[in-house]
Amino acid sequence: MASVVAAHAPWVMRELGLARLAAQVMAYNPASARGLVKNGFIEDGVERQSLFKDGALHDMRCFARFESFLQLP
């Protein structure tokens, strides 16, 4: 996953003119979270019990990558 994120995140942000790109991973999947962090995403927080899968509610970790932070005068 990290190589896909590395190849596509900068491109999609540039092509679409995005200031922020968001991603979510299931809380029990630390490998995906590491892949996002490795590619410039920061963790925004956790959405508790936000996904219903296989008969149970699961937490989602939320991440975002910013092209640049707003520079105030």
- The string of pLDDT tens digits covering residues 24-73 is 999 999 999 999 999 999 999 999 999 999 999 999 999 999 987 544 44
Q: How far apart are CA 44 and CA 25, in angstroms?
A: 12
What integer pLDDT is reported at residue 6 of this predicted model? 85
What integer pLDDT is reported at residue 2 of this predicted model? 77
What integer pLDDT is reported at residue 69 of this predicted model? 56
Specify the pTM: 0.83
Q: How far is CA 60 from the centre of its chain?
A: 10
Choose which CATH entry (3.40.50.720, 3.30.70.940, 3.40.630.30, 3.40.50.620) describes domain 2-66.
Answer: 3.40.630.30
